[in-house]
């Protein structure tokens, strides 16, 4: 498995983005919508998929989707905040 094999998509009924490898849930990024603002609260990777780039692929997928919609995101998740600090091209998407 490579990060390119993952499919990241919004699961709005669960208030999260999911990273899937086929039918397997490799990880998710939980979010809330507060006063019309998108707030990323928690990112979690299944232990079976750790160390394979799932978390970074997931955060990138969330931010790409937020950017595509023309929105911005508030980041409360420490993992996502750390990832964004290492990828300055995404800092313009963050409040």
Total structural domains within the chain: 1
Task: With CA atoms as reference, report the closest residue to 16 among 34, 27, 28.
Answer: 28
Given this model, what pLDDT does residue 19 score? 97
pLDDT, tens digit only, all 95 positions of the chain: 666 789 999 999 999 999 999 999 999 999 998 887 899 999 999 999 999 999 999 999 999 999 998 888 999 999 999 999 999 999 888 88
Both tokens of 39, joined, read 């707030």
Model pLDDT, residue 3: 66
Write down the pLDDT at residue 82: 95
Show the domain range for 7: 3-93
- What pLDDT score was predicted for residue 2? 65
pLDDT of residue 73: 94
Q: What is the CATH number of the domain that holds 41?
A: 3.40.630.30
Q: Which of 2, 47, 43, 41 is nearest to 21 (CA)?
A: 2
Burial of 35 (0-12, 13-18, 19+ CB in 10 A): exposed
């Amino acid at each position: 498995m490579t990060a390119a094999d993952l499919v990241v998509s919004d699961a709005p009924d669960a208030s999260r983005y999911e990273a899937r490898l086929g039918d397997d849930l490799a990880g998710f990024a939980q979010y809330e919508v507060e006063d019309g603002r998108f707030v990323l609260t928690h990112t979690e990777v299944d232990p079976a998929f750790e160390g394979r780039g799932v978390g970074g692929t997931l955060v990138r997928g969330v931010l790409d989707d937020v950017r595509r919609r023309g929105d911005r995101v508030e980041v409360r998740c420490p993992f996502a905040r750390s990832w964004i600090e290492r990828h300055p091209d995404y800092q313009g998407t963050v409040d």
